[in-house]
Structure 1
Amino acid sequence: MLLNYIFRRIIWSIPFMFAASLVAFALITLPPGDYATTYAQSLAQSGDIVDTARLNALRERFGLDQPFFVQYFKWIGGVLQGDFGVSFEWQQPVATLIWERLGLSFFLEISTLVFAWSVALPLGIYSAVRKYSVGDYLASIIGFIGLAVPNFLIALVLMYVAVVHFGSDVSGLFSPEYRDAPWSWAKFVNLLGHMWIPIVILGTSTVAGLTRIMRANLLDELHKPYVATARAKGLSEFQLILKYPVRLALNPFVSTIGWAFPQLISGAVITSFVLGLPTSGPLLLQALLAQDMYLAGAFILLLSCFAIIGMLVSDILLALVDPRIRYR
């Protein structure tokens, strides 16, 4: 029954991905004009002469003069074959431009989610079990600050403190000697050494939110009759809490993966600009401003697929964690 549920849930994710691709392509073609229009505006601003025949040739070359659905099916047909098209602005295959940046974005977001869970789960349990203690009040204060302060502001403060008081640069994901170097074990170790700073910045608000959720869920479970019955049977307090109320309180906690993952993706865009991270956010914004439809569409499509995968993982974990889940 469980395997059947997981299989059906995976199958249902496929039409969602096609719907996400259609919405993504519609969004990048929605603004008035196209890449040729943006290119003409940039030429005019620099004082160059705008050649109408050249712009028409540019539209014909990239198929910008074709109807919406013709452009969409041409694009999605190439995507299904692994061809994301050619970037108008960079004049390079889109796949060449996005894979390393998307890989770094995905690694950063997964690491942030693992960090957030590792901190929020024990902190939420402690706050619920030691309700109204000094530790609970301290965790609540930190949680409210984490929810109220934007990630980019934390990044700016951290950069100021690092430069002024420690004389070090915390921006980027690599040291200068590794930025353009080919991948190696030394470069990966250098990446891990720089990764903790954006992880802490991006994970602050997520930790704060998940801690409050876990605390509220566990407080609802701690005073139910089954907990008193298990305590009367002689179970130790530690075993009792982990075996029964924590497991049931994990249900809403696990379901937050569905929104935490897209939230990390959107929150990482501004933080990437502030910290100068070579992730997908800055390149995506540049592609949107230039109306580079194939580059922007590939980013939006793949980031949407990551969000759908996050929802899928959330549903599967719920089925594994909570025995009350009904697969029908």
Structure 2
Amino acid sequence: MGTFILKRVLLLIPTLIFISIVSFIIIQLPPGDYLTTYIQALEATGATVDQSTVDALVKRYGLDQPLYVQYFSWVFGMFKGDFGYSFEWDKPVSELIWNRLFLTLAISITTLLFTWIVSFPFGVYSATHRYSIGDYIITFFGFIGLAIPNFMLALILMWIAYSAFDLSVGGLFSPAYAEASWSLAKLIDFLKHIWIPVVVIGTSGTAALIRTLRANLLDEMNKPYVVTARAKGVSERRLLFKYPLRVAMIPFISTVGWSLPLLISGETIVAVVLNLPTTGPLLLRSLQSQDMYLAGSFIVLLSILTVIGTLISDILLAWLDPRIRS
């Protein structure tokens, strides 16, 4: 098991290097750069920009350097905690990302726990009580959860909260705590608001996991080894948890690797709708304005989370099924 984990950890190094290169290239693909976008915005307001100003901005932002020089400068700076400079915000990237990344992680991890806690018992019940009223109800709500887009569910919740309860569900904090430093009172206020994005983002994932576990468990429960164990007098509860459920959990656990990036990408649209101070809206804005260091840092950090999620998934699968270690 230790050798297996070590191999997976060593594979992270070339993977992350490749991710950083691809991220930097993708950000550079659109024509122009931040300075081009900035000048066009000024000209749209009727302002004129002389060449000396343009040259000064180019030198200030290091845009006159070759791309490989800009890339290596950015990557080596990361090891020192320097993620570059945000052109649009006129601030170091490190000052912009950490608080938003923390909130994004808090929402994503809580949503992941929510999907597992809800989907596991409902998936098992749906499989062990096939074609019962409870199974039909779970299936119905599962299809509803898969069919309704996250942003539409967010809009529906906002409308219900405002029209029925006269409450505003936007943001993660009350106005009094939005700019305040972290304290116990702010944490409690945060917990009062976080359930809304968790439910919105986690609904579709929960519905999908319920369907996945139900299908896998039904497939295992009809296999000969289960029929044989049942014929030998093994109780249904012991039979369920010792044999088929363990095997059915393999595809269920494998979803950890792609659930985390899906939650983060799904959080972007929901964050815009609910006005959440997370990475999504800031990443979208940095991509639109071609703020390359800010956008690149977000993409790399979120990619690291994806790789970590895949590593966790591999370790859990190896623990659950020893055949995977070989």
Aligned partner of 2:205 in structure 1 is: 206
Aligned partner of 1:77 in structure 2 is: 76
Structure 1 position 234, deviation (Å):
3.4
Separation of aligned partners in 1, 2:316 and 2:231: 31
Q: Which amino acid aligns with 1:201?
A: V
Aligned partner of 2:163 in structure 1 is: 164
Gaps of 5+ in 2: none
Residues 19-72 of structure 1: CA distance to partner in whole angstroms, max 9, x if unpaired?
Answer: 111111111111111111011011101111112221122112221122211111
TM-score in terms of structure 2 length: 0.97
Gaps of 5+ in 1: none
Q: Which aligned pairs between 1:98-247 and structure 2 lie closer than 5 A?
A: 98-247=97-246
Separation of aligned partners in 2, 1:108 and 1:233: 47
Aligned partner of 2:42 in structure 1 is: 43
Pairing 1:25–2:24 present:
yes
Separation of aligned partners in 2, 1:181 and 1:199: 23
Separation of aligned partners in 1, 2:125 and 2:16: 39
Separation of aligned partners in 2, 1:84 and 1:213: 40
User: Match of 1:4, SS?
Assistant: helix
Residues 166-211 of structure 1: CA distance to partner in whole angstroms, max 9, x if unpaired?
Answer: 1001111111111100011111111111111100000000001111
User: Match of 1:176, SS?
Assistant: coil
Structure 1 position 88, deviation (Å):
0.8
Aligned partner of 2:90 in structure 1 is: 91
Structure 1 position 6, deviation (Å):
0.5
Aligned partner of 1:278 in structure 2 is: 277
Separation of aligned partners in 2, 1:238 and 1:9: 35
Q: Which amino acid aligns with 2:166?
A: G
Q: Which amino acid aligns with 1:66?
A: Q
Aligned partner of 1:14 in structure 2 is: 13
Aligned partner of 2:57 in structure 1 is: 58
Q: Which amino acid aligns with 2:247?
A: L
Q: Which amino acid aligns with 1:287?
A: S
User: Match of 2:76, SS?
Assistant: helix
Residues 113-137 of structure 1: CA distance to partner in whole angstroms, max 9, x if unpaired?
Answer: 1100111111111111111111111
Q: Which amino acid aligns with 2:15?
A: F
Q: Which amino acid aligns with 1:311?
A: T
Separation of aligned partners in 2, 1:233 and 1:184: 59
Residues 210-262 of structure 1: CA distance to partner in whole angstroms, max 9, x if unpaired?
Answer: 11110110011101222223324433212221121111100011111122111
Aligned partner of 2:264 in structure 1 is: 265
Separation of aligned partners in 1, 2:232 and 2:98: 55
